């Protein structure tokens, strides 16, 4: 069964303290892996799509990487405005379903 697991559930950082969020996935065949950011009371906001192992994408303080079994979202020198829930999702080949993990809640303290 296709599955996505994110860790940790919650992460508390000081401003400027870099860290990584993990997304482990099990799919029969990967069509794409997505990272989203979700603020309280809002819908998820698209960040990145990764398609194949070894691929990397960057945007401001965020960098996403992909292997055959997991993806990492690296946050460099985070700021309080980076506080949000970060969601990982996968689409498997041969289907139309997008499977989300439960998310990592990130808190960045000034």
The nearest distance, CB 17 to another protein, in angstroms, is 25
Residues of this chain that bind another protein (CB under 8 A): 4, 6, 31-32, 34, 36, 41-46, 49, 51, 87, 89, 91, 95-103
Beta strands in 15-103 (DSSP E): 19-26, 30-38, 45-50, 56-59, 62-66, 70-75, 84-92, 98-100
The nearest distance, CB 93 to another protein, in angstroms, is 9
How many CB atoms sit inside 10 A of residue 60's CB? 10
Residue placing its CB nearer to another protein in the complex, 17 or 63: 63
The 3-state DSSP class for residue 74 equals strand
Residue placing its CB nearer to another protein in the complex, 31 or 61: 31
């Amino acid at each position: 069964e296709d599955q996505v697991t994110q860790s940790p559930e919650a992460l508390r950082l000081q401003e400027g303290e870099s860290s990584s969020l993990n997304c482990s996935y099990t799919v029969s065949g990967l069509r794409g892996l997505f990272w989203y950011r979700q603020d309280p009371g809002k819908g998820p906001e698209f960040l990145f799509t990764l398609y194949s192992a070894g691929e990397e994408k960057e945007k401001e303080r965020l960098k996403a990487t992909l292997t055959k079994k997991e993806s990492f979202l690296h946050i460099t020198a985070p700021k309080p405005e980076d506080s949000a829930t970060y969601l990982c999702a996968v689409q498997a080949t041969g289907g139309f379903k997008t499977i989300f993990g439960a998310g990592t809640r990130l808190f960045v303290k000034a």
